[in-house]
Amino acid sequence: MARITVKVHPRARRSAVTGRFGEAYKLDLAAPPVEGKANEECVRFVAEIAGVPRACVRIVTGATSRLKLVEVDGITQEELEKRLRT
């Protein structure tokens, strides 16, 4: 299991990892922060990067914040961070 902190920027042109913000990874998300759509896109996008099903990704803290702690099952911490950097 891996845990990462992400800072999300909703309503972006497309979903992408755009760098770092301190210890957090910056994610541009192509979804508005309305009715949980940005959270759904965050889970979908992190699952795509990690190569795991969406059911293996959950937002632990920060559901109503731009700064979120995301937990990913089925991948190591090192492997997830490597995939986020590339």
Over residues 48-83, the pLDDT tens digits come to 999 999 999 999 999 999 999 999 999 999 999 999
Q: For residues 63 and 81, what is the distance between their CA atoms, to the nearest angstrom?
A: 21
Give the model's confidence band at 3: pLDDT under 50 very low, under 70 low, under 90 confident, else very high: very high
Mean pLDDT, the chain, whole residue set: 97
Query: By percentage, how much of the chain surpasses pLDDT 90?
Result: 99
Q: What number does CATH give the domain 2-79?
A: 3.30.1200.10
Query: What letter would DSSP give residue 10?
Result: -
Q: In the chain, what are the domain boundaries?
A: 2-79
Structure tokens given for 10:
């909703």
30: which residues sit within 8 A by CB, 6+ positions away?
Answer: 11, 12, 13, 14, 15, 41
Give the mean model confidence (pLDDT) for residues 5-32. Answer: 97
Residue 5 pLDDT exceeds 90: yes
Q: Does this model's pTM top 0.85?
A: yes
Give the model's confidence band at 86: pLDDT under 50 very low, under 70 low, under 90 confident, else very high: confident
Structure tokens given for 40:
């759904």
Per-residue pLDDT at 24: 97
